[in-house]
Structure 1
């Protein structure tokens, strides 16, 4: 999981925060793994399994999958250009890690370290 720091301002000079309204589901109390997927994305299926397994292993972590085509405005707002794209959010909903492509479970666990 090639990660990059993402604390880019949203144009207001503040870091973007994502909550239930933007995500369409309640974020985790400690961290949230947000997966952008598309219907014909084969790596998205494996990514879904990996992220669900990690979320089940780590207390207070939730996995939320978003269909990039159905939520096009959010996809564009966050600059998601390919699927799968995974965002790791901290408890406040700030994006602390971002990665594209199918992740390895160990890399997801390591990325969570920046959020919890």
Structure 2
């Protein structure tokens, strides 16, 4: 997962359809309905969120949140953002991540 790209200072629940952010970090996944790698990414992120206390996984339908997608420069799905406890983007990656990479990226948020 690469370093933060320019974007909003903070992403709060109101910008994610009211989803609750994690107490320590949040894994935000941008998906589309027919994206096959998005399903596997959902499983990996759910597993990591279940393993690490205080981490939440929020999936965002990219087609329903086009304004946010454009603002954040999301150009493919899945795209995963790692937010710290304050909702700041600390890491991002496009494509299906490996569990080890997600855990390593969380280290920058915790």
Q: Which blocks of at least 5 consecutive residues in structure 2 are unaligned?
A: none
The total of aligned residue pairs comes to: 109
Instruction: Point out 4+ residue stretches in structure 1 off by more than 3 angstroms.
Output: none
User: Mapping of 1:72-83 within 5 angstroms?
Assistant: 72-83=66-77
Contact 1:34 1:63 in 2 (8 A): yes
TM-score of the pair, normalised by structure 2: 0.96
Query: By how many angstroms is 1:32 displaced?
Result: 0.1
Q: 1:9 to 1:71 in 2, by over 3 A?
A: closer
Query: Among 12, 22, 26, which residue is 2:15 paired with?
Result: 22
Give the secondary structure class of the aligned counterpart of 1:53: helix
Return the alpha-carbon distance in structure 1 between the equivalents of residues 23 and 7 of structure 2.
23
Q: Deviations over 1:55-106 (max 9, x none)?
A: 0000000000000001111111110000000000000100000000000001
2:102 matched to 1:104? no
Contact 1:7 1:94 in 2 (8 A): no
Query: Among 35, 42, 45, which residue is 1:51 paired with?
Result: 45
What's the counterpart of residue 13 of structure 1? none
Query: By how many angstroms is 1:4 displaced?
Result: 1.5
TM-score of the pair, normalised by structure 1: 0.91
What's the counterpart of residue 57 of structure 2? 63
Q: Which blocks of at least 5 consecutive residues in structure 1 are unaligned?
A: 11-15
How large is the RMSD of aligned CA atoms in angstroms?
A: 1.0
Query: By how many angstroms is 1:23 displaced?
Result: 1.2
Return the alpha-carbon distance in structure 2 between the equivalents of residues 4 and 103 of structure 1.
11
2:2 matched to 1:4? yes
